[in-house]
Structure 1
């Protein structure tokens, strides 16, 4: 019992320190997202982040040593977290083609509801390969699922992967430029599915399915 209490006492300050560090890091990522929504990653210095976050440059270097390291962290925050949210909502859906349609639609709808997120995502995805890889890992699984179930028919997986990501980011850019349409998310998902080899009728049916809801 004494040993257990000793361990608890010794780890309590460390736990509080970790929580404080996590809050500071998250604050820096939030500030970086705002900066990247306004200007290109390549044009951003760590000093810009310090100004936005209202901290010293030294504080920035405690968490991120380079602009590239910062961009990678923001990319994972932008794409990774949202992709995981989509995956969690789709966890009971066995169909790869349906999961892919859900992902495309939810990215478009998120861009429409959160322009700052969308703008930062577009700037970071063209700068940071890790972010592209994070998105690709989720899309690739759904492509393979759709191929296995006989809905998709494509000759090259890498080209199919680029097609999906390019279409989704293109739609996000169109949203930021004010070029939106009624049911844009459904129309895009339908066109992507058809481009991947789904029949017109099947693509239309899958794209129009209700989106899964949290809980």
Structure 2
């Protein structure tokens, strides 16, 4: 098939109406993130989201039918946003174990620099299965690569996944609650790698490797 005969598979540009709708939806999600940084998920109603976003109370119902839908949208947006940032910083990094260290450290460093964001993540991730599944999908690839390359030697994949995610979230909570220590990101990454079967020397080297980018 010639180039001229090739069908145009590029998505059609969004109309002005669609762009406005996406801006409004994003504004509602951002408003919910700010609220989740301050209060538990169960304490927030759709009206609170509308007020925080400074839109009419009926507007939020054009986008979300329940608080659960808001929580899921927030969780997926946060998982996608930060996982993409980690992926960009890991371009050219072939080691799955090193990518794990990068991811753990970046989540903790982001928590240190933006504790409100971290508070929202910690609250939402425990409430929303969709966010947990999205994060797990990103993490599993690196866990498996780390095992295939012989650096990680864990026996049960599901337990390894729980350990990695739970330790990272726990470290973020420590930051939010003012319980972090010097080199918190490095020390947590090192301990996680050792728990996943890396030797002490390898874990220390990977955790202390300069972050790319």
How much does 1:19 deviate?
1.1
- Secondary structure of 2:19's partner? helix
Shift of 1:91: 2.1
- What is the DSSP-based 3-state SS (H/G/I as helix, E as strand, rest coil) of the residue aligned with 2:81? helix
Instruction: Could you tell me which runs of 5 or more consecutive residues in structure 1 were left unpaired when the two chains were aligned.
Output: 1-10
C-alpha distance in structure 2 between counterparts of 1:135 and 1:212, whole Å: 21
* Structure 2 CA distance for aligned equivalents of residues 163 and 134 of structure 1: 16
Q: Indicate the RMSD between aligned Cα atoms, in angstroms.
A: 1.2
**Residues 75-84 or 110-119, more deviating:** 75-84
Q: How many pairs are equivalent?
A: 202
* Structure 1 residues 32-91: Cα deviation after superposition (integer angstroms, max 9, x where no partner): 001111111122110111111121221001111111111011001112210111012212
- Structure 2 CA distance for aligned equivalents of residues 113 and 195 of structure 1: 26
Q: TM-score, normalised to structure 1's length?
A: 0.91
CA distance in 1 between counterparts of 2:198 and 2:68 reads: 39
What residue in structure 2 maps to residue 111 of structure 1?
A: 111
Partner of residue 31, structure 2:
31
Distance in structure 1 (CA, Å) of the matches to 2:66 and 2:87: 31
Q: What residue is the counterpart of 1:4 in the other structure?
A: none
TM-score using structure 2 length: 0.92
Moved over 3 A (4+): none
Residue 201 of structure 1 is matched in structure 2 by 201
Mark the runs of 5 or more structure 2 residues left unpaired by the alignment: 1-11
Determine which structure has the larger helix proportion and give its number. Answer: 1
- Superposition pairs for residues 1-215 of structure 1, below 5 Å? 15-213=15-213
* Cα distance between partner residues in 2 of 1:26 and 1:107: 22
